[in-house]
Amino acid sequence: MGFVDVMSMIGAVVIIALALAATYFASRWYAKRAGVSGAGRYVKVIDKAGLSQGSAVYIVKVDGGYHMLGVSDKAVSYLHELPGFIEDDSPPPGNALSFSQILKGVMGQGKRGGGG
């Protein structure tokens, strides 16, 4: 193997590495630009809270209404509608409820309804 052969192999490896890096960064840029963030035309994911590995609670906005979904590796369950939910972090005005208040209410309803 001569010097020219070694240099051409090193050049090929460098070109492949640059192509892989360019593909990686281009895909990240495209994902940001395309808005791959859980939002669609009619459905928007507002928040997600992981409960365990493979399960989470989502708040989604559909047609102006907010809903809570339970999502696991094997199923998606509709948990509750969130009337009066406010999307931003500012304090709730008037009779609007915060997420923590709504979650406490939902959890309380589940405990009362399952006693027998």
Residue indicated by tokens 């709730």: 92
Residues found in the chain: 116
Q: Is the pLDDT of residue 113 over 60?
A: no
- pLDDT tens per residue across span 58-77: 999 988 889 999 999 899 99
Question: Is the pLDDT higher at 107 or at 2?
Answer: 2
Q: What mean pLDDT is predicted for residues 14-24? A: 94
3-class secondary-structure state, position 12? helix
| Contact between residue 85 and residue 97 where contact means Cβ atoms under 8 Å apart | yes
